[in-house]
């Protein structure tokens, strides 16, 4: 249970980071976004509902629509 709290804290921080930018480091996609997308995919598997963090949920949805992600 303790780990879920830590994950929630990290997601809350990430929600704030994504407040004013399209990607982690601004307006351009980078390797950190690809890695974070992978991590976010694990959330569903472990029962973490990203809808509690709407900016993250939107971010994950936008990344999922990228042509390279769709092709993979």
**Each residue of 11-20: pLDDT tens digit?**
999 999 999 8
> In this model, does residue 2 exceed pLDDT 80?
no
Are 24 and 17 a contacting pair, CB within 8 Å? Answer: yes
Please report the pLDDT score of residue 46 as a whole number: 86
The per-type count for the chain, helices as H runs and strands as E runs, is 4, 0
Rounded to an integer, the average pLDDT of 32-55 is 94
d(CA 72, CA 59): 18
Q: Which two tokens stand for residue 70?
A: 């769709």
d(CA 4, CA 46): 10
Rounded to an integer, the average pLDDT of 2-28 is 88
d(CA 45, CA 20): 28
For the question of whether the overall pTM of this predicted structure is more than 0.75, the answer is yes
């Amino acid at each position: 249970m303790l780990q879920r709290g830590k994950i929630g804290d990290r997601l809350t921080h990430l929600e704030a980071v994504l407040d004013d930018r399209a990607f982690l480091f601004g307006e351009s996609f980078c390797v950190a976004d690809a890695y974070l997308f992978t991590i976010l995919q694990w959330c569903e598997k472990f029962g973490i509902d990203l809808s509690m963090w709407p900016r993250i949920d939107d971010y994950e949805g936008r990344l999922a629509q990228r042509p390279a992600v769709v092709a993979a």
